[in-house]
Amino acid sequence: MERVNVGIIGCGHISDHYCQGLKHFRALDLRACADMDMSRAKALASDHGIAALTVDQLLADPDIEIVVNLTPPAAHFDVAMQVIAAGKHVHNEKPLAQTRDQGQTLLQAAADAGLRLGCAPDTFLGGGLQTSRKLLDDGWIGAPVAACGFFASHGPDSYHPTPDFFFKPGGGPLFDMAPYYLTALIHLIGPVERVTGSASKGFERRYATNKDLPPDLYGYAIDVEVDTHVSAVLDFANGSVASLISSFDTWHHNLPFIEIFGTEGTLSIPDPNHFRGPVRVRRANAEDWSEMPLTHDASMLRGVGVADLAYSLKSGRPHRASGALAWHVLDLMHAILDSADSGQHQQISSGVSRPEPLPAGLAPGQLDD
C-alpha cells in the first residue's frame, strides 16, 4: 500500500514513544513535527530524522495527510479543529476533548469536512487486549456477567516533568487514565447504558518532584482542581455490570487491572495502558489460572490507531480507535462526575458499536492485507 504521510503536533514527554510506534508500520511515513516551543520540535525532529516545522507550516503542508495531536488535554480541541480546518485527518491523544460540547463539535466538524477523527487510546489493538477479545468472543468464559477495572496509583507528580495538567480540568485519574479502562471494557463488552459515580479529592496540593527538574523548580506546588479518586458502576447494554476505580490517591494495593466474570469462568486482562500480556483464564472448575498464548502482535507501540486509520483511508472501512468510540468514553466520564454531583444514576445516550477485532496472526507492522 502507498504510505500515508503523518505529522505530529506536540513534541513533549510522550512524543518520542509515538515516533517509534509510528515507524513500526509500513503504512505510515512520519514526515514532520511541530510544537509551540520550537526547541522541542527541533529536538524531536533531530532524534527521528524528520522536519521541524511551526504549527502553521505543518498545517499548510499539502503532503501531510494525518496529524497526530499530542498536545495537553486543554489544547486537544483547538488543535484538532485547526487540523480539520486545514483539510487533514486528525488523531487526538486522550481525552478526545475536555467538554461534551467540544467532543460533539469535533465529531460534526470532521463529518462535515469528510475527514476521519481518531483518538487514543489505541492500546486495545495490542496483543493483550486483542487476545482477550478473541477468548471472550470464542466463549472461553461463557457469557460476560460482570467486570471490574482498577487504576490505582499516587499520580504523576513524582515522575512527569510538567505534571500540572494532570491536576487541572481535563486531567485527573478519570480523564487521564480511565479512557484506557473504559475503552478496553467497551471493546470487550460493548456500550454502556447507565453509570453511577462517586468522587473525592485526597490532597489539595501536589508537589512536582521529578528528579530531573532544576533546583528552582524541584518541589513546586500544584493546586489540585479535580477529583483524584473516582469510583463508578457501569451498566452495559448487554446487561453486564462493571465496577471501576481510577485513583491518584493510592500508595499501595493488590487490585487486578481488569477482570471479566463470565457464566463459565473468569478472564484476567493485562494492563490496558500497554499492548502486551499476560492474559489468564480460569474456567469454573479449573484448579488454577492458565496463561494463554497471545494470538496477536504485542510488539506495537502507541500509534497503531493511526496506522489503522491510514489503512481505513485506503479501503474505506471504519477505523477502530475512532472519534465515536472516544466520544462515548468522554460522555461516560462526564456522566460519572454528573452522578457524583447529583447523587443520581445517569442514563447514557451516546452508544457505539464494539470496534471490529483485528485478525489473528498478522505480521508485526501490518494491519490489513
User: Which residues contact ligand NAD (rule: CB under 6 A)?
Assistant: 9-15, 35-37, 40, 55, 70-73, 75, 79, 93, 162, 176
98 versus 350: smaller Cβ distance to ligand NAD: 98
d(CA 178, CA 332): 10
Identity of the residue, 123 or 266, whose beta carbon is nearer to ligand NAD in the bound complex: 123
Smallest distance, ligand NAD to C-beta of residue 12, A: 2
**Contact between residue 27 and residue 33 where contact means Cβ atoms under 8 Å apart:** no
Length of the chain (residues):
369
| 3-class DSSP assignment, residue 262 | strand
Q: Give the nearest distance from C-beta 9 to ligand NAD in angstroms.
A: 5
Q: Are β-strands 229-236 and 241-247 bridged in parallel, bridged antiparallel, or unpaired? A: antiparallel
Whether 14 contacts 302, CB under 8 Å: yes
Nearer to ligand NAD, 55 or 324 (CB): 55
Shortest separation between residue 14's beta carbon and ligand NAD, angstroms: 4
CA distance 194 to 343: 13
Say how many C-beta atoms besides its own lie within 10 A of residue 231's C-beta: 17
Backbone angles phi, psi at 343, to 5 degrees: 75, 15
Quick one: 9 or 195, whose CB is closer to ligand NAD?
9
Q: How far is the CB of 78 from ligand NAD (least distance, A)?
A: 6
Q: How far apart are alpha carbons 75 and 81 in whole angstroms?
A: 10
Question: Measured from the CB atom, is 83 or 324 closer to ligand NAD?
Answer: 83
Q: Report the nearest approach of ligand NAD to the CB of residue 163 (Å).
A: 9
Residues 6+ apart with CB under 8 A from 316: none
Q: Output the smallest distance, CB 140 to ligand NAD, in A.
A: 30
Closest residue to ligand NAD, judged by C-beta, is 12
Longest dimension (CA), the chain: 62
Pure H helices in the chain: 15-23, 38-48, 55-60, 73-85, 100-113, 127-137, 172-189, 304-315, 323-342
Nearer to ligand NAD, 45 or 55 (CB): 55
Distance, CA of 76 to CA of 92 (rounded, Å) = 7
Q: Report the residue number, 79 or 185, with the smaller CB distance to ligand NAD.
A: 79
Q: Give the separation between CA 163 and CA 146, rounded to whole angstroms.
A: 34
How near is the Cβ of 175 to ligand NAD at its closest, in Å?
8
